[in-house]
Structure formats: structure tokens, C-alpha cells
């Protein structure tokens, strides 16, 4: 049993570190930063043969849902897309999408590391820690797609190296 003065991490500390790190890519994966490394806007927009999306499309999709969650956290009640396609916006400017993605991922990471916040309930009565975990998993799933797309385009590993398996 731990108390307020104990140096042992509590459950919220462990949760915050584990889930918070997923917004960066996680220790078991390459980071989003590494997945973006050396990727030009032109290459980010390329769709490899036999794959449905480009890196830019996948990142815009994840960013759509990150922004959605941040709006919910901010007290808004944004409409949920009626169909899956509604969560796949056109990517627009690659640098802007990538920057917004990284900024919003950092914000979500901070929320995941906030003990009081993760226990706060959302409008459906669920602790925000549940939504943060679900969205982090969604993000990491699509991070794997980004690596696969880069592999299919012959753009992996990135310039500084990376796992090739």
C-alpha cells in the first residue's frame, strides 16, 4: 500500500506513463517522429500499389480523431461522423497536418499523464482514461500502417535508421 509521501508510483502514474507514451509511438514501436522523418510532402501523398491510403491520408485521419477527442475534452459535443468515411478528411497541406498532429498528440499525452483528469468522467460517465487509452491504441494501429506504406514505397527505414522487421 502506498500513501501520498511514498516514492513508489501509483496506478495513475503507471497509466500516465504507459498510455502517454503511446501518443509518441510507444517504446515497442518507432516513434511518430521517426515515421515522419525524411518524408517529403510529395511522398506523403503517394498511395502505393495495392494499398488504400497514403501516409498523409492516414495521418489526417488520426488527426481528425485526435482533434475530435480534444473538442470533447474541451466540453464540446461534436457530431460523430455518420459513416467511417466521415473520419477520413482530405489531408490538405502535409506540413500543416503533420504539425497539428504532433501538437495534438502532445496535448493528449499530457492529459493521459494528469492523474486527476484520467479519473474524471466524460459526458457518458466513463473516466477519460478509457477514451485516452482507446484513442492511443487507434493512433498506434495507424502508426503501423504508416510504416507499412513507407515500406511499400521503398522509403523505409528513415534516414537515421529504424527497425526493418
Give pLDDT, residue 7: 60
**77 assigned to some structural domain:** yes
Cβ neighbours around 52 below 10 Å, total: 11
Beta bridge partners of 151: none
Position with higher pLDDT, 83 vs 165: 83
Q: How many helices (H) and strands (E) does the chain have?
A: 7, 0
Helices 94-112 and 11-22 cross at an angle (nearest 10°) of: 170
Report the candidate in 151, 146, 161, 134 with the shortest Cα–Cα distance to residue 59: 146
Would you state the pLDDT for residue 18?
A: 86
Contact 66, 106 (CB under 8 A): no
Instruction: State the Rg of the chain over Cα.
Output: 17
Question: What range defines the domain where residue 107 resides?
Answer: 11-152
Dihedral angle computed from the Cα positions of residues 137, 47, 148 and 16, in that order, rounded to the nearest 10 degrees: -20
| Residue 48 within any structural domain of the chain | yes
Q: What is the pLDDT of residues 144-163, one digit of tens each?
A: 999 999 999 999 999 988 66
21-76: pLDDT as tens digits? 888 886 778 899 999 999 999 999 999 999 999 999 999 999 999 999 999 999 99
Backbone dihedral region of 11: left (phi > 0), alpha (psi from -120 to 50 degrees) or beta? Answer: alpha
Taking the C-alpha atoms of residue 147 and residue 55, their distance in angstroms, rounded to an integer, is 9
The reply to whether 164 falls in a domain is no
Give the mean model confidence (pLDDT) for residues 69-87: 96
CATH number where 119 lies: 1.20.120.450
Cα angle 36-27-29, degrees, rounded to a multiple of 5? 45
The domain tally of the chain equals 1
Residue 107, domain member (yes or no): yes
Residue 81 lies in a domain: yes
Residue 25 lies in a domain: yes
For the segment 91-131, what is each residue's pLDDT rounded down to a tens digit?
999 999 999 999 999 999 999 999 899 999 998 899 999 99
| pLDDT at site 17 | 83
pLDDT reported for residue 1: 42
Amino acid at each position: 500500500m502506498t500513501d501520498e509521501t511514498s516514492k513508489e508510483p501509483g496506478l495513475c502514474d503507471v497509466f500516465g506513463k504507459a498510455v502517454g507514451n503511446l501518443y509518441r509511438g510507444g517504446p515497442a514501436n518507432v516513434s511518430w517522429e521517426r515515421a515522419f522523418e525524411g518524408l517529403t510532402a510529395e511522398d506523403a501523398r503517394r498511395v502505393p500499389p495495392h494499398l488504400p491510403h497514403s501516409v498523409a491520408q492516414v495521418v489526417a485521419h488520426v488527426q481528425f480523431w485526435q482533434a475530435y477527442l480534444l473538442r470533447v475534452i474541451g466540453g464540446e459535443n461534436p457530431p460523430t461522423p455518420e459513416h467511417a468515411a466521415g473520419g477520413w478528411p482530405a489531408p490538405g497541406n502535409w506540413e500543416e497536418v503533420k504539425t497539428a498532429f504532433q501538437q495534438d498528440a502532445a496535448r493528449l499525452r499530457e492529459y493521459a499523464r494528469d492523474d486527476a483528469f484520467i479519473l474524471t468522467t466524460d459526458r457518458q460517465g466513463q473516466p477519460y482514461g478509457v477514451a485516452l487509452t482507446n484513442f492511443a491504441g487507434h493512433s498506434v494501429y495507424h502508426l503501423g500502417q504508416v510504416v507499412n506504406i513507407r515500406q511499400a514505397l521503398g522509403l523505409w527505414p528513415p534516414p537515421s535508421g529504424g527497425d526493418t522487421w
